Chain A
């Protein structure tokens, strides 16, 4: 069965302290891996799609990478406004979409 596991569940960083969030997956025929940001009381907001191992995408302080078994969301010199829950989702060949439970990131000033 397709599975997505995100770690850690929660991460507290000081402003400027770089770190990485992990998304491990098992899926039959990956069609795409998605990263979303979710603020409290809001719906997920799309960040990146990665389609194949070795692919990387960047947006401001965020960089997403993909291997055959996992994806990382690297956060460089984070700011308090980066505090949110980050969700990972994978789409399999059968078009099923599976979401991880998310990593709750808190960046303290």
Chain B
């Protein structure tokens, strides 16, 4: 099993550009989430989804959009990139059931906004 796969691994954007970070999991997990990781700070939740067609905002949702059309995929869209969105982005998933189950993480997308 591949687990959680994120693409691309690295990306450089100019301010104002848009892009989509891809996330796919092959474990049939219902719950998927996006985090950003910045130096000196813990992972912060951007958006999450409890199943296909259902998404909700996390702690830092501004400037990001998500959709969940299939169980496997959960893309994160940057609408108009800003330097403050320079970060490492992680996608995670966990199975249906109690919410206090551990999440499985991808290896991240390193994004720089110039």
Q: What is A's interface to B at a CB cutoff of 8 Å?
A: 4, 31-32, 34, 36, 41-46, 49, 51, 87, 89, 91, 95-102
Q: Is the CB of A44 within 8 A of B105?
A: yes
Closest to B45 in A: A97
With a cutoff of 8 Å between Cβ atoms, the chain B residues found around residue A97 in the complex are 45
Q: What is B's interface to A at a CB cutoff of 8 Å?
A: 4, 35, 40-45, 59, 90, 92, 99-108
| Other-chain contact of A100, B4, B35, B42 (Cβ < 8 Å) | B42
Given contacts A32-B100, A34-B102, A91-B99, contact A101 B41 (CB under 8 A): yes
Given contacts A43-B108, A44-B105, A46-B104, contact A87 B90 (CB under 8 A): no
CA–CA, A91 and B102, complex, Å = 10
Closest Cβ of chain B to A5, distance in Å, is 9
CA–CA, A91 and B100, complex, Å = 7
Closest Cβ of chain B to A38, distance in Å, is 9
What does DSSP make chain B's interface, helix, strand, loop or mixed? loop
**Extra A-B contacts (16), CB below 8 Å, given A31-B99, A43-B92, A46-B102:** A4-B42, A32-B100, A34-B102, A41-B107, A42-B108, A43-B4, A43-B90, A43-B107, A43-B108, A46-B104, A51-B100, A96-B59, A98-B42, A99-B43, A101-B42, A102-B42
CA–CA, A89 and B43, complex, Å = 9
Q: Is the CB of A31 within 8 A of B43?
A: no
CA–CA, A62 and B99, complex, Å = 25
Q: Is the CB of A87 within 8 A of B100?
A: no
CA–CA, A95 and B42, complex, Å = 17
| Other-chain contact of A43, B100, B102, B106 (Cβ < 8 Å) | B106
15 A-B pairs whose Cβ atoms sit less than 8 Å apart in the complex: A42-B107, A43-B4, A43-B105, A43-B107, A44-B43, A44-B90, A49-B100, A49-B101, A49-B102, A89-B42, A89-B43, A91-B99, A100-B42, A101-B41, A102-B42
